[in-house]
Amino acid sequence: MTNKDLANIIFPDITKTIDDYKEMYPERNLPEGAKVTRFAPSPTGYMHLGGFYGAIIDYVLAKNSNGLFYLRIEDTDTKREVKEAVDLIVESLNHYGIVPDESEYNGVIKGNYGPYYQSERKEIYHAFIKYLIEIGRAYPCFCTKEELDELRKHQEERKFRTGYYGRYAKCRVLPIEKQIEKIQNGEEYVIRFKSEGNFDLKFKTDDLVKGTLELSQNDEDFVIMKSNDKLPTYHFAHVVDDYLMHTTHVVRGEEWLSSLPKHLELFRAFGFKAPKYIHTPLLIKKDGNSIRKISKRKDPEASMAYYKDKGYPTEALVEALMTIINSNYEEWHTQNPDKKFDEFVYSPKKMSSSGAFFDLDKLDNISRNIISKMTKDEVYKNLYKWAEEYNKDFAEIISKDVDYTKSILNIEREQKKPRKDYACYSEIESQIWYMFPELYKNHEKNFEWGKINSSEDIKEIITEYFNNFFDKNDDKETWFNKVKELSEKLGYTTDMKAYKENPDNFKGSVADVSTVIRVAVTTKSMTPDLYEILRILPQDELELRVKEIM
Ligand code: GLU
């Protein structure tokens, strides 16, 4: 009996060879230097920010090398509903304008290097495993869970490195006849890779972010095919898929770095060239005084849903991540405001290899800046789109009189330094509710009167102002002069310098008078430009509000 017999007994129906597959998946016809990258998520029903950040790197690498970016669904390990989980992944990518060049989605297959779902590639994996068995580099292992637990315990008690390697890998020395007999008796088995490595020996390998690494050789006979569903493990599928699909650059989280020696040994066993690796540092955040990894369990911002729910402009999250990916991105973006992020030439070397610091405050700043530079039409369009999905009542209110809403969104916008008050669309209602009569009516009101807070003084200012000074048609200068006139008339100073030096010498200043008018019509002591607010709010609404506080 030979290894070939063993391989045929395990995979009697597998007739295609590795060479057949090499022909079916020929070199890609791409220009010199083109990078082929992939996003290879497991469909868990959750889209992690960290995954998206890797996908952006993949996308940028492919796009600015005239290469290709594909989506591969790694569903060998999931018992959950794959369809919805994949919808979530594809929608998340598309929301940010990231469309894979190759994928399989909703029955539409783009690309000739599929199937793009690992669960549909079983036959391919089996052909490659069959080959390894034939050349004596893989074997069936019949150890039960109890035996493996026992082995681990034994190793732990003696403080030995745990794992199935060397003399602990007892199934590697089973005679072929014995292996075949066990299989024919219906015993359960997994397939393990037969390592030739020596853990005490080191080898050098390059990671494009981390530089040259010195790692111990792999000596573990790790599982490459599971027993129940006969699907491969991640380690094995990674090697076969990235080889056949001609991935040039594998971008993945640094949690995979420790398995790299396994992957490299597998590539070598097949005689395949390994791709280049970019192991991305974990996304970390500040938590009080410490810094820790962003966690799915603790941090809502770990989920991509967070940014969509809140209504961050897509460019804002992309920019925040790009800035972490390469710190010179911000400068490049300022110099090339009209270019899309995928035109930026990403340099793995410039990436911090220790940790990627993701800061929500920074995202807010980036986002405020981006929204402030939009036209009123753009903000309206984006706000409405967001509200239609997440705040239907508000969507209805703002769309009743679109021009009215736009005039509100335009306050302090078309100017050299536009106002930066909205970080995301969900924040807008809480900042402009008082501009909509129907929201104002039902809103809980807390009048934020300032220095002038006696009802007598307030009434005096309001009555005088609206009866004798306010005119909707005034230009801004006239408007302000009138507020000053009113102040002088009622004994409030307009000499701000003198007032600041000795506030107690005065009843108040023109600023206090403006505050009274502002609070009277909005309830807020801080708002955007009061002149604009008074100009935009309908006359009858102004009258109603004034009457209410009298
Ligand atoms: N399916 C793996 C994961 O979701 C992919 C790692 C890789 O990109 O190779 O972590």
- Asked if residue 438 belongs to a domain, the reply is yes
- Asked if residue 319 belongs to a domain, the reply is no
The structure's pTM equals 0.92
**CATH code (residue 182):** 3.40.50.620
Same structural domain, 130 and 266:
yes
Residue 149 DSSP SS3: helix
Distance 37 CA to ligand 1 centre (A): 12
Same structural domain, 143 and 260:
yes
Same structural domain, 421 and 500:
no
Same structural domain, 436 and 511:
no
- Asked if residue 186 belongs to a domain, the reply is yes
Q: Whose CA is nearest to atom 10 of ligand 1?
A: 41
Question: What's the pLDDT at 418?
Answer: 97
The Cα 99–Cα 377 span in angstroms is: 26
The Cα 533–Cα 516 span in angstroms is: 14
Same structural domain, 413 and 535:
no
| DSSP H or E segment with residue 284 | strand 283-287
Same structural domain, 429 and 526:
no
Q: Which of 250, 270, 248 minimizes the C-alpha distance to 21?
A: 270
Distance 138 CA to ligand 1 centre (A): 23
- Asked if residue 18 belongs to a domain, the reply is no
Distance 485 CA to ligand 1 centre (A): 69
Q: Which of 95, 43, 46, 44 minimizes the C-alpha distance to 71?
A: 43
* Pocket probe mutation, ligand 1, options 37, 52, 238, max atoms within 8 Å of Cβ: 238
Q: Which of 408, 442, 476 is the last residue of a domain?
A: 442
**CATH code (residue 462):** 1.10.10.350
Tell me if 527 CB under 6 Å of ligand 1. Answer: no
Tell me if 74 CB under 6 Å of ligand 1. Answer: yes
Give the sheet arrangement for strand 290-293, strand by strand: 290-293, 283-287, 356-357
- Asked if residue 181 belongs to a domain, the reply is yes
Distance 259 CA to ligand 1 centre (A): 12
Tell me if 242 CB under 6 Å of ligand 1. Answer: no
Averaged pLDDT, groups of 10, the chain, 550 residues long: 96 97 97 97 93 96 96 85 89 96 95 96 98 98 97 97 97 97 97 98 96 97 96 97 98 96 98 97 92 95 97 96 92 92 90 87 97 97 98 98 98 96 97 97 94 94 95 96 95 91 89 97 97 97 93
Q: Whose CA is nearest to atom 6 of ligand 1?
A: 252
Question: What's the pLDDT at 79?
Answer: 66
* Pocket probe mutation, ligand 1, options 231, 256, 267, max atoms within 8 Å of Cβ: 256
Q: Whose CA is nearest to atom 2 of ligand 1?
A: 41
Same structural domain, 398 and 524:
no
Same structural domain, 250 and 274:
yes
Question: What's the pLDDT at 486?
Answer: 96
Q: Which of 399, 415, 442 is the last residue of a domain?
A: 442
DSSP string, 459-471: HHHHHHIIIII--
Q: Please report, for residues 58, 192, 257, 321, 527, the alpha-carbon distance to residue 253 in angstroms, rounded to integers and kept in the order given.
A: 12, 25, 8, 15, 45
Same structural domain, 275 and 399:
no
The Cα 80–Cα 89 span in angstroms is: 14
Q: Whose CA is nearest to atom 3 of ligand 1?
A: 41
Name the token pair of 14: 């597998």
How many independent structural domains does the chain possess? 3
| DSSP H or E segment with residue 87 | helix 82-95
Distance 251 CA to ligand 1 centre (A): 9
CB 305 within 8 A of CB 359: no
Same structural domain, 498 and 379:
no
Q: What are phi and psi of 69, to 5 degrees?
A: -125, 125
Q: Which of 280, 296, 314 is the last residue of a domain?
A: 280
Same structural domain, 130 and 210:
yes
- Asked if residue 353 belongs to a domain, the reply is no
Give residue 510's domain range: 455-549
Same structural domain, 256 and 402:
no
- Asked if residue 403 belongs to a domain, the reply is yes
The Cα 167–Cα 449 span in angstroms is: 81
- Asked if residue 315 belongs to a domain, the reply is no
Question: What's the pLDDT at 354?
Answer: 76
Instruction: Find the helix packing angle between 539-549 and 510-522, rounded to 10°.
Output: 100
The neighbour count for residue 196, using CB atoms within 10 Å, is 12
Tell me if 41 CB under 6 Å of ligand 1. Answer: yes
* Pocket probe mutation, ligand 1, options 70, 118, 252, max atoms within 8 Å of Cβ: 252
Question: What's the pLDDT at 316?
Answer: 97
Q: Which of 212, 191, 193, 192 minimizes the C-alpha distance to 203?
A: 212
